[in-house]
Amino acid sequence: MDTFFILLNIVIMLAIIGLLFYMQKKHVSFTKRVFTGLGLGIVLGAFLQIAYAADSEVVNVTTDWYNIAGRGYVSLLMMIVIPLVMVSIIQSIINLEKSADLGKMSAWILAFLVGTAMIAALVGITSASIFDLNADQIEMGQAEQDRGLALEERLGEVKDLSTPEKILSFIPSNPFLDMTGQRATSTIAVVIFSVFIGVAVLGVRRKKPEEATRFINGVNAIYAVVMRMVTLILRLTPYGILGLMANTVATTDVAGILELGKFVGASYVALLAMFVIHLLLISLFGLNPMTFVKKVLPVLGFAFTSRSSAGTIPLNIQTQRNSLGVHEGIANMSASFGATIGQNGCAGIYPAMLAVMIAPSQGIDPLTPGFIIQLVLIIGISSFGVAGVGGGATFAALIVLSSMNLPVALAGLLISVEPLIDMGRTALNVNDAMVTGTLTSKVMKKLNIKRYNDPTAVEKEASL
């Protein structure tokens, strides 16, 4: 009987995929197809949750099949990340009018990423205080205890690395190893390696223009092929989001969310507040924030469902360039750096809220100026260096809590709601990368204002 229900669920998924394919053939916009996939994924996941229960054998096997569409799509995106980042950065540098622009570009990108992470920390502190979050209010079961022990074990890996050592880990000693994505800092290392290649080509162009021209022609040809691959993969976005969302909703621990609803609510209030701050920054720089929102929504939808900042890089770059009018080199660097540095959700809001929540259990008042200033500064530093030890919210929390002399094991109390909160955190991280690219382009007078304000640029993006 279970086999019949599993086959039925697969047929339902195939029918929805058929609908999305029909919409594509009818030239329905990319944005509408993405959100149709998202909405139908939620409905399908809710059906599985209600009809069979999240931990049933039917749901386990069904989600394995749905992963072909969901996780398979994420794998294809990860496949193209390193080639895209490498070729795009080399190509954008060799087309720079002045090599000095590279330094300015990098400085502005890092300033926006780390600066907004520190603002996000203040937002997290405020939300945790308003909701009166306290670790003593949460009961610790076996799963939470196991998670706490695992965090304590990983703390040893983290606190043995100083900030200079984390920064040093960005430098590629074996770029070919980094191209396989084996290290936590592989993406940044590939960026640095690509920058060196681009700068070297600029030098060769001055002394041996013929050799440089041959290399540049080769890079431009490879770039055209890689971008075509990106286009082919991004056409699958609605199907990928459908599979990811269906699985997420189907396997969600509803009881855990209800038990920790206060923390979930506080987290999403903080995340939404930071989104508003992003839009205020956009408007302060003389750009229409509503135009920005309309153009980035499909990217945020994918980031939300996939929970992968790195996997979102191709869609992030494509949207910045084609829809927002961001300079190509800036789009490449902001998306690449933003996947591991200055993450507003994972490295800003989340560790700040944990620190405020855990501090009272240790007899510490988290609202004293000294505690707040120390916490914001540590988050600012760790948001830059966290990529050196693996990136993500867990490592950010470990670094911040250990630096504040707070017990990291209590962070395990939130294991049941981690996936739900992580969806919003990832969307905020990716939004910050796009805001950073847009503002850096504006500051450096490289933003294509006409394209930014062109509402049909989204439709052009939709014709992938």
pLDDT at 388 over 50: no
pLDDT at 390 over 50: no
**Residue 314: which residues within 8 A CB-CB, separation 6 or more?**
77, 80, 81, 84, 230, 233, 234
How far is it, in rounded angstroms, from Cα 105 to Cα 442? 11
For 397-415, what is the mean pLDDT?
Answer: 74
Higher pLDDT, 459 or 57: 57
pLDDT value at residue 3 = 87
Tens-digit pLDDT profile for residues 134-159: 876 665 555 555 555 555 555 555 55
Number of domains into which the chain is organized: 1
Which residue type occupies 131? F
For 124-134, what is the mean pLDDT?
Answer: 90
pLDDT value at residue 368 = 93
The pTM assigned to this predicted structure is 0.83
pLDDT value at residue 2 = 80
For 431-436, what is the mean pLDDT?
Answer: 96
pLDDT value at residue 37 = 92
Domain extent at residue 260: 2-462
CATH assignment at residue 93: 1.10.3860.10
- The confidence band for 274, taking pLDDT boundaries of 50, 70 and 90, is very high
**Residue 133: which residues within 8 A CB-CB, separation 6 or more?**
262, 263, 266, 353, 356, 357
- The confidence band for 458, taking pLDDT boundaries of 50, 70 and 90, is low
Out of 40-44, 147-151, 407-411, pick the least confident.
Answer: 147-151
Share of the chain above pLDDT 70, in %: 85
pLDDT value at residue 382 = 78
pLDDT value at residue 311 = 82
- The confidence band for 391, taking pLDDT boundaries of 50, 70 and 90, is very low
pLDDT value at residue 455 = 84
- The confidence band for 270, taking pLDDT boundaries of 50, 70 and 90, is very high
pLDDT value at residue 427 = 93
Tens-digit pLDDT profile for residues 69-120: 988 988 888 888 888 888 888 887 887 766 667 788 889 999 999 999 999 9
Tens-digit pLDDT profile for residues 323-380: 999 988 899 889 888 887 888 988 899 899 989 988 888 888 889 999 999 999 989 8
Q: What is the 3-state secondary structure (H, E, C) of the chain?
A: CHHHHHHHHHHHHHHHHHHHHHHHHCCCCHHHHHHHHHHHHHHHHHHHHHHHCCCCHHHHHHHHHHCCCHHHHHHHHHHHHHHHHHHHHHHHHHCCCCCHHHHHHHHHHHHHHHHHHHHHHHHHHHHHHHCCCCHHHCCCCHHHHHHHHHHHHHHHHHHCCCHHHHHHCCCCCCHHHHCCCCCCCHHHHHHHHHHHHHHHHHHHHHHCHHHHHHHHHHHHHHHHHHHHHHHHHHCCHHHHHHHHHHHHHHCCCHHHHHHCHHHHHHHHHHHHHHHHHHHHHHHHCCCCHHHHHHHHHHHHHHHHHHCCCCCCHHHHHHHHHHCCCCCHHHHHHHHHHHCCCCCHHHHHHHHHHHHHHHHHHHCCCCCCHHHHHHHHHHHHHHHHHHHHHCCHHHHHHHHHHHHCCCCHHHHHHHHHHHHHHHHHHHHHHHHHHHHHHHHHHHHCCCCCHHHHHCCHHHHHHHCC
How far is it, in rounded angstroms, from Cα 308 to Cα 310? 5
pLDDT value at residue 157 = 55
pLDDT at 400 over 90: no
Out of 155-169, 201-215, 428-442, pick the least confident.
Answer: 155-169
Return the biggest CA–CA distance within the chain: 74
**Residue 107: which residues within 8 A CB-CB, separation 6 or more?**
none
Quickly count: other Cβ atoms within 10 Å of residue 103's Cβ: 10
pLDDT value at residue 115 = 94
Tens-digit pLDDT profile for residues 181-235: 777 677 778 888 988 998 888 888 888 888 988 998 998 899 889 888 888 888 8
pLDDT value at residue 435 = 97
